[in-house]
């Protein structure tokens, strides 16, 4: 970043506008100061004045490199210092929040030709930039980043969609995006030179990427049909925004919550459908009416997927009013930060604290952290809960609670989007849904508030030919992680294989109902295979004596009320279609009533 900055590839549009405005006060002397590493870690005051995000949240004095120990109490500092893992040592050396400033300096150095990305500090590039939402894919796409955003409740407006299009359009085939299983967006192909400008631009349009990775809180998940659902108990939008503001200090970055023992997931469910998947979050807020009719939340805690352990959340025996939600979550995060174990990283998620203390013990500590408040016990569901509540499919056209309006849900197979898709979706949103579009945990999109007399016109849009409102029974339930195309951890390619397998199976079989099929490239289970009807997880396999890409198969996962995790039923199945198509056909015929087409 020198006197003015343009994206690589000379991007035009909103991204360049945001960039130019934030860079206007940068001079060549700024670059000279930044070039003196490690002095680049201490931003000059001129740099801080150039960026509204940096002005608003600067926890360190000029020249000071912040340590991850800063916001920990003494006993937590001792645990962190005794921990032998590389991540705790890395955070002690320099907190990830430092990158909210340093990303501007790194961009300046690269733009000025003072250095190359290969010469930048490896820990900064590959680890600490994750606190700014930037994930370097050194193995798959060296020099380029996946950029994870924070999109509370999955709600985007048309201006934001166009900005996202501008962000990835310069990168050609390298530039694309994914809808994630946390109602979020990940941008791909980003280079370091452009990252600072995108961070500033995101802030200007009401988004952020800060604290989207590493040991902080992930995107806030709520109901995809919040505020428009005829059956909702709680409109989750305001709570998701309020929680996101608390976690990120209103999107400016909050160093008090950057050094948790491990990542943390929170979701707010709005109806009995539990579109937010409370059972697989660290904090799941389940709407429930108290005896006087007030709608609050029963709390479940500890849900997680990992390489070592997959477990559902457990009841905490606490009921919160809506006003208590944010103070409760803040207090629980502080307890987790200050008292959580940091010794063995594979055992630092919240459930391991619950193993030690019990859910009641955790509850008591959180209540104390809240100032000694008395938390109400969980509300026992009334007799109406004796009648099952099947989880609704929200794809297609559905009447809203507002008379004369409908939402239209479109299927985005495996959640992959292009710059052109973002632009087209922005146009469709402006024409039909008041400039609003939502993304879902199933990696699909929803256009809300469509006038009933405009639904037919929306369904006739070219976008709907690509992303249908009435997909096939397998396409409708398809979810996939990024896979080996971009992720260095993945053991197999997922997205393209998943989409092609769906086409093959739907062409060969009559399938009477939607079957939720999830693909994940590794045991981290980013695509949540354990909640699927059929889950496929990448693993090693052998065929004809040779190592090949393979899958484990999980069956029996369910979502909504009474959700359960699926179980592994097979492993080492070669992932080529010669083996996989017969295996999947057998499952679909025997368990889901499919028949072979004549």
State the SS3 of 296-320: EEEEEECCEECCCCEECCEEEEEEE
- Sign of the Cα torsion 207, 148, 223, 472 reads positive
Q: Residue 63: its pLDDT value, please?
A: 56
3-state DSSP call for residue 30? helix
The DSSP result for 54-106, as a single string, is: HHH---S-TTPPPPTTTTS-HHHHHHHHH--SHHHHHHHHS-GGGHHHHHHHH
Q: Residue 520: its pLDDT value, please?
A: 98
Tokens of 51: 């960026």
Asked if 587 and 534 count as a contact pair (C-beta separation under 8 A), the reply is yes
Q: 309: how many CB neighbours lie within 10 A of its CB?
A: 12
Tokens of 589: 């015929």
Q: Residue 450: its pLDDT value, please?
A: 99
3-state DSSP call for residue 397? strand
Q: Residue 53: its pLDDT value, please?
A: 44
Closest C-alpha among 43, 55, 51 to residue 25: 51
| Average pLDDT per block of 10 residues along the chain, 598 residues long | 32 40 33 31 35 40 77 94 91 96 94 93 96 93 96 99 98 96 98 97 98 99 99 99 99 98 99 98 99 98 95 98 99 98 95 98 99 98 96 98 99 97 99 99 99 99 99 98 93 97 98 98 96 98 97 98 96 97 98 97
3-state DSSP call for residue 188? strand
Q: In whole angstroms, give the CA distance from residue 265 to residue 220.
A: 8
Question: Which CATH code is given to the segment(s) 260-386?
Answer: 3.30.413.10
Residues in the chain: 598
pTM of the model: 0.90
* Residue-range domain boundaries for the chain: 260-386, 476-596
Residue with tokens 């992720």: 487
Q: 597: how many CB neighbours lie within 10 A of its CB?
A: 9
- What is the CA 361 to chain-centroid distance, rounded? 29
> In the chain, count of helices (H) and strands (E)?
18, 23
CATH architecture of 476-596: 2-Layer Sandwich (3.30)
Looking at residue 522, the DSSP 8-state letter turns out to be S
Looking at residue 376, the DSSP 8-state letter turns out to be B
Q: In whole angstroms, give the CA distance from residue 491 to residue 522.
A: 6
Residue with tokens 């944010």: 326
Buried b (16+ CB within 10 A) or exposed e, 451-483: eeeebeebbebebbeebbbebbbbbbbbbbbbb
Strand ranges in 452-502 using DSSP code E only, listed in sequence order: 478-480
């Amino acid at each position: 970043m020198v006197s003015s900055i343009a994206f690589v590839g000379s991007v035009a549009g909103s991204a360049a506008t945001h960039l130019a405005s934030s860079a206007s006060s940068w001079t060549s002397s700024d670059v000279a100061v930044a070039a003196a590493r490690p002095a680049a870690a201490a931003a000059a005051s001129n740099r801080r004045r150039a960026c509204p995000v940096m002005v608003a949240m600067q926890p360190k004095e000029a020249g000071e490199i912040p340590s991850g120990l800063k916001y920990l109490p003494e006993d937590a500092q001792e645990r962190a210092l005794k921990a032998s893992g590389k991540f705790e040592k890395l955070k002690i050396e320099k907190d990830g929040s430092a990158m909210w400033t340093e990303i501007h300096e790194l961009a300046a150095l690269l733009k000025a030709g003072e250095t190359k990305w290969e010469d930048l500090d490896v820990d900064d590039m590959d680890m600490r930039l994750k606190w700014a939402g930037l994930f370097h894919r050194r193995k798959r796409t060296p020099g380029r980043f996946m950029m994870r955003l924070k999109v509370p409740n999955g709600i985007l407006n048309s201006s934001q969609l166009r900005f996202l299009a501008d962000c990835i359009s310069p990168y050609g085939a390298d530039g694309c995006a994914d809808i994630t299983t946390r109602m979020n967006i990940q941008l791909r192909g980003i280079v370091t030179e452009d990252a600072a400008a995108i961070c500033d631009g995101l802030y200007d349009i009401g988004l952020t990427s800060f604290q989207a990775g590493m040991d902080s809180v992930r995107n806030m998940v709520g109901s995809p049909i919040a505020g428009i659902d005829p059956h909702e108990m709680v409109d989750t939008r305001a709570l998701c925004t309020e929680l996101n503001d608390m976690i990120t200090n209103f999107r400016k970055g909050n160093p008090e919550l950057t050094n948790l023992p491990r990542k943390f997931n929170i979701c707010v469910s709005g109806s009995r459908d539990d579109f937010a998947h409370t059972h697989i979050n660290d904090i799941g807020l389940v709407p429930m009416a108290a005896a006087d009719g007030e709608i609050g939340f029963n709390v479940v805690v500890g849900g997680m997927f990992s390489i070592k352990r997959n477990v559902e959340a457990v009841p905490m025996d606490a009921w919160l009013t809506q006003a208590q939600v944010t103070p409760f979550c803040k207090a629980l995060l502080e307890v987790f930060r200050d008292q959580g174990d940091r010794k063995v990283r594979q055992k630092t998620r919240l459930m391991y604290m619950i193993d030690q203390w019990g859910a009641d013990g955790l509850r008591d500590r959180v209540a104390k952290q809240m100032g000694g408040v008395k938390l109400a016990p969980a509300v026992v569901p009334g007799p109406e809960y004796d009648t099952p509540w099947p989880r609704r499919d929200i794809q297609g056209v559905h009447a809203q609670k507002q008379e004369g309006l409908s939402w239209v849900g479109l299927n985005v197979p495996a959640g992959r989007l292009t710059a052109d898709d973002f632009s087209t979706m922005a146009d469709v949103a402006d024409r039909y849904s008041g400039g609003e579009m939502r993304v879902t945990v199933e990696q699909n999109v929803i256009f809300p508030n469509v006038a009933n007399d405009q639904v037919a016109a929306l369904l006739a849009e070219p976008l709907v030919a690509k992303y249908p409102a009435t997909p096939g029974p397998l396409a409708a339930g398809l979810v996939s992680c990024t896979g080996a195309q971009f992720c260095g951890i993945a053991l197999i390619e997922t997205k393209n294989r998943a989409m092609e397998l769906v086409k093959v199976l739907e062409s060969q079989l009559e399938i009477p109902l939607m079957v939720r099929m999830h693909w994940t490239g590794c045991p981290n289970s980013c695509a949540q295979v354990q909640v699927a009807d059929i889950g496929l997880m990448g693993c090693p396999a052998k065929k004809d004596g040779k190592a090949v890409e393979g899958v484990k198969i999980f069956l029996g996962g369910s979502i909504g009320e009474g959700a359960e995790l699926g179980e592994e039923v097979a492993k080492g199945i070669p992932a080529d279609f010669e083996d996989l198509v017969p295996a999947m056909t057998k499952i679909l015929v025997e368990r889901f009533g499919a028949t072979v087409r004549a």
